[in-house]
Protein backbone atom coordinates (compact mmCIF):
# COMPACT_ATOMS: atom_id res chain seq x y z
CA UNK A 1 0.00 0.00 0.00
CA UNK A 2 1.22 3.48 -0.84
CA UNK A 3 1.35 5.74 2.17
CA UNK A 4 0.77 9.47 2.14
CA UNK A 5 3.45 10.89 4.45
CA UNK A 6 2.65 14.17 6.21
CA UNK A 7 5.30 16.14 8.10
CA UNK A 8 4.27 18.88 10.51
CA UNK A 9 7.11 21.25 11.44
CA UNK A 10 6.04 23.15 14.53
CA UNK A 11 7.74 26.16 16.07
CA UNK A 12 8.17 25.55 19.82
CA UNK A 13 10.39 28.55 20.56
CA UNK A 14 9.93 30.60 23.72
CA UNK A 15 7.66 33.10 22.02
CA UNK A 16 5.08 30.36 21.56
CA UNK A 17 4.66 30.05 25.33
CA UNK A 18 1.13 30.05 26.67
CA UNK A 19 -1.88 30.34 24.41
CA UNK A 20 -0.09 29.64 21.09
CA UNK A 21 1.57 26.36 22.13
CA UNK A 22 -1.62 25.16 23.81
CA UNK A 23 -3.52 25.99 20.62
CA UNK A 24 -0.99 24.04 18.54
CA UNK A 25 -1.27 20.98 20.77
CA UNK A 26 -5.02 21.16 20.68
CA UNK A 27 -4.96 21.73 16.91
CA UNK A 28 -2.97 18.55 16.33
CA UNK A 29 -5.27 16.54 18.59
CA UNK A 30 -8.41 17.73 16.86
CA UNK A 31 -6.80 17.18 13.47
CA UNK A 32 -5.90 13.58 14.27
CA UNK A 33 -9.33 12.69 15.65
CA UNK A 34 -11.13 14.20 12.71
CA UNK A 35 -8.84 12.55 10.14
CA UNK A 36 -9.57 9.24 11.86
CA UNK A 37 -13.16 9.61 10.70
CA UNK A 38 -12.11 9.91 7.06
CA UNK A 39 -11.88 6.46 5.44
CA UNK A 40 -9.31 7.48 2.85
CA UNK A 41 -7.14 9.36 5.34
CA UNK A 42 -7.15 6.63 7.99
CA UNK A 43 -5.90 4.16 5.40
CA UNK A 44 -3.27 6.28 3.67
CA UNK A 45 -2.12 9.23 5.79
CA UNK A 46 0.92 8.84 8.02
CA UNK A 47 1.81 11.75 10.28
CA UNK A 48 5.09 12.88 11.79
CA UNK A 49 5.72 15.81 14.12
CA UNK A 50 8.98 17.72 14.11
CA UNK A 51 9.40 20.53 16.63
CA UNK A 52 12.01 23.24 16.47
CA UNK A 53 13.30 25.63 19.10
CA UNK A 54 16.99 25.85 20.02
CA UNK A 55 17.28 22.54 18.24
CA UNK A 56 14.96 20.59 15.95
CA UNK A 57 13.83 17.07 16.67
CA UNK A 58 11.36 14.55 15.38
CA UNK A 59 9.11 14.02 18.37
CA UNK A 60 6.73 11.65 16.58
CA UNK A 61 8.11 9.44 13.80
CA UNK A 62 5.99 8.83 10.71
CA UNK A 63 2.99 7.01 12.20
CA UNK A 64 -0.30 5.80 10.82
CA UNK A 65 -3.35 7.67 12.06
CA UNK A 66 -4.73 4.68 13.92
CA UNK A 67 -1.63 4.33 16.14
CA UNK A 68 -0.79 8.01 16.41
CA UNK A 69 -0.39 9.45 19.92
CA UNK A 70 0.44 13.08 20.46
CA UNK A 71 3.36 13.86 22.77
CA UNK A 72 3.57 16.78 25.14
CA UNK A 73 5.44 19.74 23.68
CA UNK A 74 6.76 22.78 25.52
CA UNK A 75 7.76 26.20 24.27
CA UNK A 76 11.31 27.26 25.02
CA UNK A 77 14.46 28.63 23.39
CA UNK A 78 15.20 30.09 19.97
CA UNK A 79 13.87 29.41 16.44
CA UNK A 80 16.09 26.94 14.54
CA UNK A 81 14.01 26.62 11.39
CA UNK A 82 17.08 25.69 9.34
CA UNK A 83 17.72 22.74 11.61
CA UNK A 84 14.07 21.70 11.21
CA UNK A 85 14.48 21.67 7.42
CA UNK A 86 17.56 19.48 7.81
CA UNK A 87 15.75 17.11 10.15
CA UNK A 88 12.75 16.76 7.83
CA UNK A 89 15.12 16.07 4.91
CA UNK A 90 16.76 13.22 6.83
CA UNK A 91 13.36 11.89 7.90
CA UNK A 92 12.14 11.88 4.28
CA UNK A 93 15.27 9.95 3.25
CA UNK A 94 14.78 7.38 5.99
CA UNK A 95 11.03 7.04 6.13
CA UNK A 96 9.54 7.61 2.69
CA UNK A 97 9.75 4.52 0.47
CA UNK A 98 10.92 5.02 -3.08
CA UNK A 99 9.26 3.26 -6.01
CA UNK A 100 11.28 0.45 -7.53
CA UNK A 101 10.44 -2.36 -9.93
CA UNK A 102 9.72 -4.65 -6.97
CA UNK A 103 7.81 -2.27 -4.73
CA UNK A 104 5.37 0.55 -5.00
CA UNK A 105 6.80 3.53 -3.17
CA UNK A 106 4.95 6.02 -1.01
CA UNK A 107 3.28 9.12 -2.32
CA UNK A 108 5.35 12.26 -2.23
CA UNK A 109 5.22 13.77 1.26
CA UNK A 110 3.24 16.83 2.32
CA UNK A 111 5.07 19.30 4.54
CA UNK A 112 3.37 21.89 6.73
CA UNK A 113 5.52 24.45 8.54
CA UNK A 114 4.20 26.75 11.23
CA UNK A 115 6.31 29.47 12.82
CA UNK A 116 5.70 32.67 14.78
CA UNK A 117 9.18 34.14 14.50
CA UNK A 118 12.29 34.72 12.45
CA UNK A 119 14.83 31.89 12.18
CA UNK A 120 17.78 32.31 14.52
CA UNK A 121 20.02 29.80 12.78
CA UNK A 122 21.55 29.47 9.33
CA UNK A 123 18.27 28.59 7.70
CA UNK A 124 19.58 28.83 4.13
CA UNK A 125 21.80 25.78 4.56
CA UNK A 126 18.82 23.85 5.88
CA UNK A 127 16.78 25.04 2.92
CA UNK A 128 19.47 23.86 0.51
CA UNK A 129 19.13 20.33 1.92
CA UNK A 130 15.35 20.47 1.91
CA UNK A 131 15.20 21.61 -1.72
CA UNK A 132 16.89 18.36 -2.75
CA UNK A 133 13.89 16.37 -1.49
CA UNK A 134 10.71 15.97 -3.51
CA UNK A 135 7.46 16.90 -1.83
CA UNK A 136 3.96 16.97 -3.28
CA UNK A 137 3.66 20.41 -1.72
CA UNK A 138 5.00 22.40 1.19
CA UNK A 139 2.86 24.94 2.98
CA UNK A 140 4.38 27.47 5.38
CA UNK A 141 2.27 29.40 7.85
CA UNK A 142 3.47 32.69 9.31
CA UNK A 143 1.62 32.94 12.61
CA UNK A 144 1.32 36.49 13.89
CA UNK A 145 3.24 39.67 13.14
CA UNK A 146 6.57 38.32 14.37
CA UNK A 147 6.95 35.93 11.44
CA UNK A 148 8.38 36.93 8.07
CA UNK A 149 6.19 35.79 5.17
CA UNK A 150 8.72 36.92 2.59
CA UNK A 151 11.38 34.76 4.13
CA UNK A 152 9.00 31.77 4.11
CA UNK A 153 8.31 32.50 0.45
CA UNK A 154 11.88 31.46 -0.25
CA UNK A 155 11.15 28.05 1.26
CA UNK A 156 7.90 27.45 -0.60
CA UNK A 157 5.57 29.35 -2.88
CA UNK A 158 2.66 28.24 -0.74
CA UNK A 159 2.64 30.65 2.19
CA UNK A 160 -0.30 31.58 4.35
CA UNK A 161 -0.31 34.00 7.26
CA UNK A 162 -2.32 34.54 10.42
CA UNK A 163 -2.73 38.11 11.66
CA UNK A 164 -2.36 36.99 15.25
CA UNK A 165 -1.08 33.79 16.81
CA UNK A 166 -4.12 33.38 19.03
CA UNK A 167 -5.89 30.12 19.69
CA UNK A 168 -8.78 30.87 17.32
CA UNK A 169 -6.52 31.57 14.32
CA UNK A 170 -4.23 28.64 15.05
CA UNK A 171 -7.17 26.28 15.35
CA UNK A 172 -8.49 27.54 11.99
CA UNK A 173 -5.11 26.83 10.45
CA UNK A 174 -5.20 23.25 11.69
CA UNK A 175 -8.76 22.80 10.48
CA UNK A 176 -7.58 23.82 7.03
CA UNK A 177 -4.55 21.49 7.23
CA UNK A 178 -6.96 18.69 8.16
CA UNK A 179 -9.13 19.41 5.11
CA UNK A 180 -6.05 19.59 2.89
CA UNK A 181 -4.78 16.20 4.06
CA UNK A 182 -8.29 14.80 3.59
CA UNK A 183 -8.56 16.09 0.03
CA UNK A 184 -5.07 14.91 -0.87
CA UNK A 185 -5.61 11.40 0.46
CA UNK A 186 -8.90 11.17 -1.45
CA UNK A 187 -7.24 12.32 -4.66
CA UNK A 188 -4.36 9.88 -4.46
CA UNK A 189 -6.67 7.00 -3.59
CA UNK A 190 -9.28 7.71 -6.23
CA UNK A 191 -7.46 9.05 -9.19
CA UNK A 192 -3.93 8.03 -8.35
CA UNK A 193 -3.10 11.70 -8.77
CA UNK A 194 -0.94 13.81 -6.57
CA UNK A 195 -1.89 17.28 -5.50
CA UNK A 196 0.79 19.79 -6.39
CA UNK A 197 -0.14 23.15 -4.96
CA UNK A 198 -2.44 25.44 -3.06
CA UNK A 199 -4.78 25.75 -6.06
CA UNK A 200 -5.96 22.17 -5.61
CA UNK A 201 -6.51 22.45 -1.87
CA UNK A 202 -9.71 23.55 -0.16
CA UNK A 203 -10.02 27.36 0.04
CA UNK A 204 -8.49 28.63 3.29
CA UNK A 205 -10.79 30.22 5.90
CA UNK A 206 -10.87 34.01 6.19
CA UNK A 207 -8.42 33.98 9.12
CA UNK A 208 -5.80 32.59 6.76
CA UNK A 209 -4.31 35.05 4.29
CA UNK A 210 -2.64 33.65 1.20
CA UNK A 211 0.68 35.43 0.76
CA UNK A 212 1.21 36.22 -2.90
191 binds other proteins (CB under 8 A): yes
33 binds other proteins (CB under 8 A): yes
Kindly tell me the burial class for residue 9, based on how many C-beta atoms sit within 10 Å of its own C-beta (0-12, 13-18, 19 or more). buried
Q: In what order do the strands lie in the sheet with 4-11?
A: 56-64, 45-52, 4-11, 110-115, 137-143, 158-162, 208-211
184 binds other proteins (CB under 8 A): no
Query: Binding segment for other proteins among 77-85, 103-111, 118-126, 200-208 (CB under 8 A)?
Result: 103-111
22 binds other proteins (CB under 8 A): no
By C-beta, is 99 or 168 nearer to other proteins? 99
Touching other proteins, residues 113-172 (CB under 8 A): none
Distance CA 151, CA 101 (A): 40
Helix axis angle for 19-35 and 167-191, nearest 10°, is 30
Q: How many residues bind other proteins (CB under 8 A)?
A: 30
Cβ-contact 184, 4 below 8 angstroms? yes
196 binds other proteins (CB under 8 A): no
76 binds other proteins (CB under 8 A): no
44 binds other proteins (CB under 8 A): yes
Of 72, 132, 150, 206, the residue at the interface with other proteins (CB under 8 A) is 72
Shortest Cβ distance from residue 138 to other proteins (Å)? Answer: 18
186 binds other proteins (CB under 8 A): yes
Around 135, how many Cα atoms within 13 Å sit in the side-chain half-sphere? 26
Running DSSP on this structure, what letter comes out for residue 62? E
Beta bridge partners of 52: 11, 56
By C-beta, is 38 or 79 nearer to other proteins? 38
Shortest Cβ distance from residue 32 to other proteins (Å)? Answer: 9
Shortest Cβ distance from residue 160 to other proteins (Å)? Answer: 26
Angstrom distances, CA of residue 140 to CA of 85, 121, 158, 209: 12, 17, 6, 12
Helix axis angle for 123-131 and 81-95, nearest 10°, is 20
The site for other proteins (CB under 8 A) is made up of 1-2, 33, 36-40, 42-44, 65-69, 72, 101-104, 107, 186, 188-194
Amino acid sequence: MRRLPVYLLLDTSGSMTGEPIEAVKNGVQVMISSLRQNPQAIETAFISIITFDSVAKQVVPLTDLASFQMVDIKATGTTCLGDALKVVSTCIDNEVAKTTAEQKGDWKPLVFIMTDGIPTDDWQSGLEEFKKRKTAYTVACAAGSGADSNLLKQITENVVSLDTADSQSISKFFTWVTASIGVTSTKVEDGGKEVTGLGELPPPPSELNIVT
